[in-house]
Amino acid sequence: MTQPSDADARRAAPPVLVYPDTSLTPPPMDLYRRAAQSAREVARVTVPLRDATAIEVPAGHILRLGCPEGPQVGDLNLFARGDLSERFFSGKTRALHGTHVSVGDRLWSCFPHFRPMATIIADSLDWYGIDADGGSVHDVIGTRCDPYTHRLLSGEDYDRCCHSNLTRALAAHEGLSLAEAEAHVHDVLNVFMCTGFTWDSGRYFMKASPVRAGDHLDLFAEIDLLAVMSACPGGDCGAGHSSDHAACHPLSMTVLRLEPQALKGWDSPQRNGYASGHGA
């Protein structure tokens, strides 16, 4: 392999953060924390193992994603309730906040809506940080396990991948056909999953999640939400997925109501102000 004489100099160009931490208006975390003290449970669903469930979350409520029984990874899709065209935008969330998200980070919706759908206000795994392999938890880099890639790589069919679980649950909740629902299923937030890229080759890896029974991730709903979560057939994703081999556990989704007066000063965000003229 030949390289230019100034190759080292070119590589030495300093990295520039595309979106520095100061780019975004910080979320009102003190307000959220104070308001969360008034939280009381109003709805709760179980996400059965190797399956998915949907739940509606009104704006100004907390969605608690829980791991009640044992190590388990969840794949989360978020929609604006009543408008499936507004959905979670994994790629821009990654660009704005990083490969893994935690307290203070927001989950953004797709163009042209592009506003915070939820803000992470509590994470019992926030102690994990970035491990020696470069891994961390709650990633927005993976897409979801799916039967198409499985078929491509193994020649076999498996119907309990997160993609299929999300499709079935969304179809059932919205009264859609599987084909209609599948078109709305999108890249996920990998809840509790521990992932990264290898240092030497930049390959996507997973490792056994540090999540244990009792762990949870709390999302403050900035807008009315429809949340759909799959309990991944990979279990803690320490070995494989797309099969029934891994030990799996259920997950839970709990909606917590906050006292309206505790939310004084908070407003549900408007859609992005760009008028979509695109210079035409």
57 vs 206, beta carbon nearer Zn ion: 206
Binding span for Zn ion by CB under 5 A among 124-132, 135-143, 179-187, 229-237: 229-237
Q: Are strands 251-257 and 225-231 parallel, antiparallel or unpaired?
A: unpaired
49 vs 162, beta carbon nearer Zn ion: 162
Q: Which amino acid is at 270?
A: Q
Binding span for Zn ion by CB under 5 A among 1-9, 20-28, 157-165, 214-222: 157-165
Binding span for Zn ion by CB under 5 A among 76-84, 142-150, 180-188, 260-268: 142-150
Binding span for Zn ion by CB under 5 A among 55-63, 104-112, 162-170, 187-195: 162-170
107 vs 162, beta carbon nearer Zn ion: 162
What is the C-alpha separation between 41 and 66, in angstroms, rounded?
A: 13
162 vs 248, beta carbon nearer Zn ion: 162
Structure tokens that stand for 68 in this block:
């009640």
Contact pick of 65, 80, 121, 145 for Zn ion (by CB under 5 A): 145
Closest CA to 81 of 245, 268, 210: 268
Q: Which amino acid is at 190?
A: N
Q: Are strands 83-87 and 74-80 parallel, antiparallel or unpaired?
A: antiparallel
Shortest approach of Zn ion to residue 131 CB, angstroms?
A: 21
Shortest approach of Zn ion to residue 70 CB, angstroms?
A: 16
Contact pick of 107, 227, 229, 232 for Zn ion (by CB under 5 A): 232
Shortest approach of Zn ion to residue 160 CB, angstroms?
A: 9
Closest CA to 45 of 227, 238, 277, 232: 227
Helix (H, G, I), strand (E, B) or coil at 119: strand
Shortest approach of Zn ion to residue 30 CB, angstroms?
A: 35
**Residues 256, 144, 87, 195, CA torsion sign:** positive
237 vs 255, beta carbon nearer Zn ion: 237
Positions 250 through 279 that interact with Zn ion (CB under 5 A):
none
What is the C-alpha separation between 274 and 34, in angstroms, rounded?
A: 33
Q: Which amino acid is at 221?
A: A
Residues near 138 by beta carbon (within 8 Å), at least 6 away in sequence = 100, 101, 102, 120, 123, 125, 189, 190, 191, 192, 193, 217
Closest CA to 97 of 32, 185, 31, 23: 23
Contact pick of 59, 162, 188, 258 for Zn ion (by CB under 5 A): 162
Shortest approach of Zn ion to residue 209 CB, angstroms?
A: 12
- Tell me how many residues contact Zn ion (CB under 5 A): 3
What is the C-alpha separation between 198 and 196, in angstroms, rounded?
A: 7
49 vs 63, beta carbon nearer Zn ion: 49
- Does position 228 interact with Zn ion (CB under 5 A)? The reply is no
49 vs 232, beta carbon nearer Zn ion: 232
161 vs 255, beta carbon nearer Zn ion: 161
Ramachandran angles phi, psi of 113, nearest 5°: -70, -60
For Zn ion, the binding residues (CB under 5 A) are 145, 162, 232
